[in-house]
Amino acid sequence: MRITWILVICLTGLLGVAGAFADEGDKPVDPRLLLADEGAEYVGASQCMMCHSETMELYLGTKHALSLGNSELPPSVVGCEMCHGPGSMHMSAFTNDPGERAIVDFDQSPDSAFTGICLNCHRSIATFNEFASNMHANSKVYCSSCHDPHANKFKFAMLRKPANDLCASCHKGVYSQFESGLSAHPVKKDDFFCTDCHNPHNSERSMLVREGISKTCGGCHEYTRQSYVFPHISEYTDPAEEACLYCHNPHASGTNNLLRFSGRTLCLTCHSDKAMHMPGATCWTAGCHSQIHGSNDNPMFVK
C-alpha cells in the first residue's frame, strides 16, 4: 500500500504541467524513481509481453522500440520500463485494481503526467519550462493528446491521427477555412502541414508561429523578404514582423492572393484619409502603387 500512495501523491503533483515544472532545465518529480527506491527491479520488455501482447505488437513498430536492440543502454531507458518504471513489483501484484498495480499507470493518471516523462528524453523539442508556458499546455493539451507512445499508425511522429487532421480536431474553425476551397495553401495535400508554419511544442510567439510571421511567410515567399529602402508599413511595425497579416489571411480568403479585402478597400483599412483619392481605382493595379511590398526607389511604392 505504501508504494501505491506514494505514486498517487506523485502523479497528483503532475496534474498541472506548469506546477510540475521547476526552473528551466529542472525535472519534475519522477514517480518511476520512487518505484526503484521501494525495491522494484527492471525485468525487461519480454516479461511485459506475457500479458500485454497486443500493445507490444503495436509498440514494436515504433521508434521507441529501437531501444530494445541496444544492449549498451541501462534498463531504465529500454522498452516499456523506460516510461512505466521498473516492473518487478507490478508482476508480483497480480491485481487489476488500478490503485494496486505498483507501476506508473497512465490510464489512471491525467495526460499531464505523461509530459514530464516524455520530456526527460525529448529535451530537444522543448525544455520542461518551455512546454509549461506553451499555450497548448495552458489549454490542457499534452504530449499524449496528440501522440500515442505505443503505436505508429501514421508515418509521422507516432501521431494519433494524420498531422493536419490532428490539428483540425481542435482548430475546427480554422480548418473549415481550408476546406472551403478558398485557400491557396494546400493543407489538404500530404506535403503541406500546419506545422510548416506553427510549432506545437515550443514557441514564444502568438499563434505558436515558428519564426515570427514575416519570417515564416518569407520561408516560401522569399520575394516579400527583401530588404527595401522604403519598406511597406515600416511606420507601424518592425519591418515587418506581422506586416503580412495586415493584408493577408494565411488560412483562406475569397480574394486573390489571400487578401483580407478586395481592391482599394484593403488599402483604406489603413489609409482612410485617401478615400476620395481617385475613387474607383484599385491602388496597386491601376498603374500607381504597384511595388506594394516595398520599393528601393520610391517611398510611395510607385514604379
Domain tally, the chain: 2
201 is in which domain, residue-wise? 163-214
The burial of 244, by beta-carbon neighbours within 10 Å (0-12 exposed, 13-18 middle, 19 or more buried), is given as buried
* Distance set, CA 132 to CA 116, 129, 141, 183 (Å): 10, 5, 11, 33
Task: Report yes or no on 249 lying in a domain.
Answer: no
Residues 196 and 68 reside in one and the same domain: no
Task: Report yes or no on 27 lying in a domain.
Answer: yes
pLDDT at site 21: 37
Residues 115 and 181 reside in one and the same domain: no
Residues 170 and 62 reside in one and the same domain: no
Q: What are phi and psi of 192, to 5 degrees?
A: -140, 120
Task: Report yes or no on 153 lying in a domain.
Answer: no
Q: List per-residue pLDDT tens for the chain, 303 residues long.
A: 444 433 433 333 333 333 333 334 455 567 787 787 788 899 999 999 888 999 999 999 898 998 998 889 998 889 999 999 999 989 888 666 666 778 888 776 666 667 888 888 888 888 888 888 888 888 888 888 899 989 887 766 899 988 888 898 999 988 888 877 777 787 766 678 888 889 998 887 778 888 878 788 888 887 776 778 888 765 445 544 677 888 898 888 888 888 889 888 888 988 889 888 887 778 887 778 888 888 888 888 887
Q: How far apart are CA 117 and CA 238, in angstroms?
A: 40
Residues 180 and 116 reside in one and the same domain: no
Q: Which grid cell sits at 300? A: 510611395
Task: Report yes or no on 252 lying in a domain.
Answer: no
pLDDT at site 43: 92
Q: How far apart are CA 296 and CA 244, in angstroms?
A: 19
Residues 199 and 122 reside in one and the same domain: no
Task: Report yes or no on 258 lying in a domain.
Answer: no
pLDDT at site 8: 38
Residues 25 and 140 reside in one and the same domain: yes
pLDDT at site 28: 59
Residues 109 and 168 reside in one and the same domain: no
Task: Report yes or no on 7 lying in a domain.
Answer: yes
* Distance set, CA 178 to CA 38, 171, 221 (Å): 53, 11, 19
Q: Which grid cell sits at 122? A: 525529448
Residues 41 and 106 reside in one and the same domain: yes
Residues 167 and 141 reside in one and the same domain: no
Task: Report yes or no on 296 lying in a domain.
Answer: no
pLDDT at site 53: 92
Residues 35 and 168 reside in one and the same domain: no
Residues 174 and 137 reside in one and the same domain: no
Residues 133 and 199 reside in one and the same domain: no
pLDDT at site 96: 66
